[in-house]
């Protein structure tokens, strides 16, 4: 039944549109997202990347250090977040080695030593750095909180040997740097709350300057620490990696992935708009038909 003067075909057309919007096969959405990601990787668009205040602060924290300064780098992530954090790790180490900083690397996750070894090895080989003098890898130590607190007293006692079983006392870098007091900066590359614990224990208890590279999901939780100054800078997700790569002037997987990221986001925004149009059309239609429809019917499922 239609109101006087209203075209009877219009509600039917509206219903058809709503049904179409509501009944899109999820595989079509997967395929569209897949294409939105794959095509820009094959045919790069070179979309511009703007640098945020947080990424600039992360870059500045490393850039301000002098050659020969020691920094701690904690690889606190495992294979499931490599896509986001590997580009940040590699860019950070490239930046550090270019500045002739000396890197003491470690991890708080048992699944991370392979990742850390690979990234450290690649960055050190590029910069012709010597193991034990320019960088060391301490490996994994169980119980992150005890590790973080004890490192404030003695790194050599916390890690009597490095990841490869070499005694810490025999490594020149560790003979010079034995606690937070001997290092200028701590870089927490983290996929979990581990960055927060570095802020709490190394930053809060021992007053170590902390910056962090985080997954996008963690970035939301880490923002308040940057606002209060407890964190001197941070990178959030692949976008953060791209911004940092732009700052150090070295393209990596972060910048290369930004076109795909932007296209996928654009597509998802379109899906959200279309989904909401379908929802609003359905609600208007239910309003026309009046009360009496149950919630299950009313959802249009």
Partner 1 sequence: MWSDVGVWVAAILTIAVFSLLYRDNPFYRAAEHLLVGVSAGYYLVNNYEASVVRKFVVPVFHQGDLWLVPGGILGLLVLLRLSRRAQWISRYPIAFYVAAWSGYLIPSVLQERILTQIQGTIPPAPWNAAPGALLGALVLFVGVVSILVYFYFSAPHTGILGGVSRVGIVFLMIGFGATFGYTVMGRVSLLIGRFQFLLRDLPASLTGP
- Least distance between partner 1 and beta carbon 176 (Å): 24
Rounded to the nearest whole angstrom, what is the least distance from the CB of residue 223 to partner 1 in the complex? 9
Closer residue to partner 1, CB minimum distance, 118 or 286:
118
For residues 184 and 253, which CB has a smaller minimum distance to partner 1 in the complex?
253
Select 110 or 275, whichever has its Cβ closest to partner 1: 110
CB of 33 to partner 1, least distance (A): 7
Q: Which is nearer to partner 1, 265 or 283 (CB)?
A: 265
- Residue placing its CB nearer to partner 1 in the complex, 79 or 172: 79
d(CA 189, CA 75): 5
- The answer to whether 69 and 284 have CB atoms below 8 angstroms apart is no
Residue 256 Cβ, how far from partner 1 at the closest point, in Å?
A: 7
- Least distance (Å) between residue 181 CB and partner 1: 18
In whole angstroms, the minimum distance from the beta carbon of 182 to partner 1 comes to 22
Residues that bind partner 1 (CB under 8 A): 27, 30, 33-34, 37-38, 41-42, 80-84, 86, 110-111, 139-142, 145, 149, 161, 196, 199-201, 203-205, 215-217, 219-220, 224, 227-230, 236-239, 253, 256-257, 260-261, 264-265, 268
Q: Which residue lies nearer to partner 1 by CB, 139 or 233?
A: 139
**Is residue 164 classed exposed, middle or buried when 0-12, 13-18 and 19+ CB atoms within 10 A define those classes?**
exposed
């Amino acid at each position: 039944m239609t109101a006087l003067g209203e075209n009877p075909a219009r509600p039917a057309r509206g219903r058809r549109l709503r049904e179409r919007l509501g009944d899109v096969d999820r595989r079509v959405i997967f395929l569209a997202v897949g294409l939105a990601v794959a095509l820009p990787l094959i045919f790069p668009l070179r979309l511009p990347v703007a640098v945020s205040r947080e990424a600039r602060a992360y870059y500045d924290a490393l850039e301000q250090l002098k050659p020969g300064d020691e920094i701690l780098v904690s690889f606190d992530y495992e294979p499931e977040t490599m896509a986001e954090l590997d580009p940040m790790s590699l860019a950070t180490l490239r930046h550090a080695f270019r500045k002739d900083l000396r890197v003491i690397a470690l991890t708080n996750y048992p699944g991370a030593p392979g990742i850390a070894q690979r990234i450290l090895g690649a960055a050190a080989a590029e910069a012709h750095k010597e193991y034990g003098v320019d960088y060391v890898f301490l490996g994994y130590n169980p119980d992150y909180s005890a590790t973080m607190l004890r490192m404030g007293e003695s790194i050599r006692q916390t890690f009597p040997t490095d990841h490869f079983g070499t005694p810490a006392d025999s490594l020149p870098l560790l003979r010079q740097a034995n606690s937070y007091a001997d290092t200028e900066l701590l870089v927490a590359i983290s996929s979990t709350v581990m960055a927060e614990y570095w802020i709490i224990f190394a930053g809060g208890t021992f007053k170590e300057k902390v910056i962090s590279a985080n997954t996008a999901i963690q970035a939301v939780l880490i923002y308040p620490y940057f606002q209060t100054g407890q964190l001197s800078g941070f990178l959030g997700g692949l976008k953060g990696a791209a911004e940092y790569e732009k700052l150090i002037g070295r393209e990596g997987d972060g910048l290369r992935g930004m076109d795909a990221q932007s296209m996928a986001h654009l597509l998802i925004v379109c899906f959200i708009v279309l989904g909401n149009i379908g929802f609003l059309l359905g609600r208007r239609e239910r309003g026309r038909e009046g009360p009496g429809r149950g919630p299950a019917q009313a959802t249009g499922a």
